[in-house]
Amino acid sequence: MKECKKVRKDIFFAFIEGKGLGKEGEEHLLKCEECKDFFTYLNSVSSASEEVKKRIDDEMGKIEWRVFEREIIEKVREESRKPLRIFPLKNFLLPKYLIPSMAILIIIISVFIYILSIPREGEFFSESQIFDKMEKVSAKNEVLKYFEDSNFLLSSFVEKESIDKYSLKKSKELLLKKRFINQYLEDFPNARQIASKIDFLFMEFQMDGENKEIMRIIERENLILKIKLVKDEIKEMGAL
């Protein structure tokens, strides 16, 4: 039904952008059970993603960051003070005449690393700096994993031209994951745009969309190649 297709598209983009459905959409839901089920499903995905995020925030809030900071610094100092174990390896790694030179070189490198790893007097890593760094590294890995899994799923669909049980389950997980990583895509407009198109296709998976139409969208958008380019872009940019 043409009206259903338009309303579902509106529902989908309202879901992605976090906006309301509007009067026309709400009126349609009162008379169409299928679209109402679609709307209910999206709300369940949204609720689940918010619950996951809340749990993560709660766990992060329990960490004593100042204690954590001191433990990291102390660990670096302990490691740097450990004696060098060079000579037990001399019989099978180095000729005897190279042992003294190699020992001096390793000592110099170790001292250099030790000096760099100790903060200057009065200088400490703030808890926010530690948290931000950890969060950015984790976010980058999550975003890359999202695109890798999406690429695998869409490539598998192109090869089989059908949606199996695994694809159905995995696409649902990726719809949930997309809600979680949205905030990390702000600085990557290309990645965000591609992720929205992936989202739309995975929604078609869930709603038993026509295989030919899904295939046509993948080919028209050259989506698999674009996913690869986006992955390369994120890797080159370093931490998000």
Q: Work out the pLDDT band at 218, boundaries 50, 70, 90.
A: very high
Q: State residue 91's pLDDT score.
A: 47
Burial of 116 (0-12, 13-18, 19+ CB in 10 A): exposed
| Total-model pTM | 0.52
Q: Distance between CA 45 and CA 179 in Å, rounded?
A: 9
Residue linked to tokens 């999406």: 150
Token pair listed for 2: 């043409």
101 and 107 in contact (C-beta within 8 Å)? Answer: no
Q: Which residue has the higher pLDDT, 158 or 25?
A: 158
Residue linked to tokens 């952008």: 17
Q: Which residue has the higher pLDDT, 111 or 8?
A: 8
Q: State residue 128's pLDDT score.
A: 53
164 phi, psi to nearest 5 deg: -90, 180
Q: State residue 117's pLDDT score.
A: 52
Q: Please, what sign has the CA dihedral across residues 51, 56, 59, 60?
A: negative
Q: Which residue has the higher pLDDT, 22 or 98?
A: 22
> In this predicted model, what pLDDT tens digit does every residue of 106-140 receive, in sequence order?
665 665 555 455 555 444 445 455 556 666 677 78
Residue linked to tokens 């808890």: 127
Q: What DSSP assignment string belongs to 120-163?
A: PTT----HHHHHHHHHHHHHHHHHHHHHHHHHHHHHHHHHHSS-
> In this predicted model, what pLDDT tens digit does every residue of 85-114 receive, in sequence order?
544 444 445 555 555 555 666 665 665 555
Average pLDDT (3-23) is 67
According to DSSP, residue 19 is labeled -
> In this predicted model, what pLDDT tens digit does every residue of 55-84 receive, in sequence order?
666 666 666 656 655 666 666 566 656 654
Q: Which residue has the higher pLDDT, 230 or 88?
A: 230
For the beta carbon of residue 6, count every other beta carbon within 10 angstroms: 13
> Hey, what's the torsion of the CAs at 121, 125, 126, 130, to 10 degrees?
-170
Q: Distance between CA 81 and CA 113 in Å, rounded?
A: 11
Using a pLDDT cut of 90, give the percent of the chain over it: 12
Residue linked to tokens 């170790």: 110
28 and 3 in contact (C-beta within 8 Å)? Answer: yes
> In this predicted model, what pLDDT tens digit does every residue of 146-197 receive, in sequence order?
999 999 999 999 988 888 888 888 998 898 888 888 888 877 778 888 999 9
Q: State residue 152's pLDDT score.
A: 94
Residues making up the chain, counted from first to last: 240
Q: Please, what sign has the CA dihedral across residues 228, 233, 236, 239?
A: negative
Q: Please, what sign has the CA dihedral across residues 232, 53, 163, 189?
A: negative
Token pair listed for 219: 């080919």
